[in-house]
Amino acid sequence: MDLIISKQGHHWQARHGARVWRAAVGRSGIAPKRAEGDGVSPVGCWPIRRVLYRADKLAAAPASVFPTAAIARDDGWCDAPEHPDYNRPVKLPFAASHEEMWRNDDLYDIVVVLGQNDDPVVPHAGSAVFLHVASEGYGSTAGCAAMTRADLLDFLTLAKPDTRLCFQAG
């Protein structure tokens, strides 16, 4: 059973079977991916690869069927389309454009890594598309999906090994 992210009225929602949670998506909504940095949450269904978390912010690792690992201060994610490590985790310092996984806000306290543009990686087809903790008020993301920490932890207890995250436009 997949986690379906779609628009319901004026809000985005995440639905997994009978469970429904409020969600946030990219600033450009859900649409086909056009380019790196376009703010689109890419239409399609993406497998869940693993779960990352801030061990200093959570009492225990999230309960999950997926491989789980703590985020370190020097963890990053390459978002430079021309770099050989594009859409891959990297260690900081890193000279090319990248996201820092150890953030000062709470958004990456839990990060569900999605298999979007990773098999194979195609330059400019999108990087660092995650499911992560939502900002206060469910502000838009750079192209990810987001839920409250409690809802994200709840979802992870329900997800099965074949659960995917599906962004549905419309």
Residue 170, pLDDT above cutoff 90: no
Q: What is the tens place of the pLDDT at every residue in 13-71?
A: 999 999 999 999 999 999 999 999 999 999 999 999 999 999 999 999 999 999 999 99
pLDDT at 14: 98
- Predicted local confidence at residue 57, as pLDDT: 97
| Mean per-residue pLDDT over the chain, rounded | 97
CA distance 139 to 11: 11
Global pTM value = 0.97
Give me the mean pLDDT over the 104-132 stretch. 97
pLDDT of 45: 98
β-pair partners for 13: 6, 22
Query: Which residues, 6 or more positions from 92, have their beta carbon under 8 angstroms from its beta carbon?
Result: 73, 74, 75, 76, 98, 100
Interval 64-90 mean pLDDT: 98
Q: Return left, alpha or beta for 49; rule: phi > 0 is left, psi -120 to 50 is alpha, else beta.
A: alpha
Element (H, E) at 152: helix 149-158
Q: Is the pLDDT of residue 9 over 90?
A: yes
Distance (Å, whole) CA 4 – CA 165: 6
Share of the chain above pLDDT 70, in %: 100
Distance CA 57, CA 158 (A): 22
Give residue 51's pLDDT.
98
The amino acid occupying position 47 is: P
Nearest residue to 112 via CA among 155, 49, 162? 49
DSSP secondary structure code for residue 60 in this structure: S
